[in-house]
A and B are shown apart, each in its own frame.
Chain A
Amino acid sequence: MTTKNATEPMVRIEGLRKSFGSLEVLRDINLDVMPGQVVTIIGASGSGKSTLLRCINLLETPDAGHVWFHGSDLAAEHVDVNSLREKIGMVFQGFNLFNNMNVLDNCTLAPVTLKKMGKSEAEQVAMKHLDAVGLADFARASVSNLSGGQKQRVAIARALCMNPDLMLFDEPTSALDPEIVGEVLEVMRGLARDGMTMVVVTHEMQFAKTVSDRVVFMDKGVIAEEGTPAEIFGSPKHPRTREFLARYLED
Chain B
Amino acid sequence: MSSALSSEQGAARRRGKIASFFLDDHRYVLLGTSAVALVGMLLSSQPRPAMSFLAQAFTVELVMYYLLVAWLVVSAIGLAVKIAKWKTYDEVSPFTKPAVRRVLRYASYVIWAITLVLIVDRVVMGIASAWSVAVAAASQASPKRPDGMLESMCYILYQGRQTFLTGFITTVELAVFGTVIAFFLALLLVFARIQTIDRPDNDFVRFWKKVGVGFAKVYSTVVRGTPMMVQAMVLYYGVFGLFRMTSLTTTQINGIWTTFLAGLVTITLNSTAYMMEVLRGGIESVDAGQLEAARSLGLSQWQAMRKVVFPQGIKYAIPGLSNELVINIKDSSVLSVIGTFDLMFATTTVAGIYYQQFQTALITTVVYLALTMFASWLLGKFAHHFDVKPQPVGSSSDAGVAVGTEEVSAVPVRDGEKHRRGFGQGR
Contact = CB atoms under 8 A, between A and B. Distances in A.
B200 interface: yes
Contacts of A110: 294, 297-299
A86 interface: yes
B298 A85 contact: yes
A88 interface: yes
A80 interface: yes
Contact of B307 (A61, A82, A109): A109
Interface string B300-312: 1001000110011
Interface residues on B, range: 20 to 34
A182 B300 CA distance: 34
B296 A114 contact: no
A145 interface: no
B169 to A, nearest CB: 39
Contact of A113 (B200, B202, B293, B307): B307
A227 to B, nearest CB: 29
A102 B49 CA distance: 63
Interface in B242-295: 287, 289-290, 292-295
B297 to A, nearest CB: 4
A83 B297 CA distance: 9
B116 to A, nearest CB: 46
B13 interface: no
Interface in A78-135: 78-86, 88-90, 92, 94, 96-100, 109-110, 113-114
B200 A79 contact: yes
A100 B308 contact: yes
B233 to A, nearest CB: 43
A98 B292 contact: no
Contacts of A113: 299, 303, 307
Nearest to B294: A98
Nearest to B312: A100
A59 B312 contact: no
A79 B297 contact: no
B90 interface: no
Q: Classify the interface of chain B: helix, strand, loop or mixed.
A: helix
Contact of A90 (B199, B201, B296, B299): B296
Contacts of A77: 199
Contacts of B290: 96, 98-99
Contacts of B308: 98, 100, 109
Contact of B298 (A78, A97, A100, A114): A114
Contacts of B199: 58, 61, 77-79, 81
B298 A82 contact: yes
A96 B300 CA distance: 17
B299 A92 contact: no
Contacts of A51: none
B292 A158 contact: no
Contacts of A92: 289, 292-293, 296
B143 to A, nearest CB: 62
B297 A78 contact: no
Contacts of B300: 82
A162 interface: yes
A101 B252 CA distance: 54
The CB with the most chain B CB atoms within 10 A, among A77, A83, A88, A113, is that of A113
A173 to B, nearest CB: 16
A159 interface: yes
A85 B200 contact: no
A179 B198 CA distance: 40
A98 B293 contact: yes
Interface of A: 57-59, 61, 77-86, 88-90, 92, 94, 96-100, 109-110, 113-114, 155, 158-159, 162
5 contacts: A57-B296, A84-B298, A85-B296, A98-B293, A99-B312
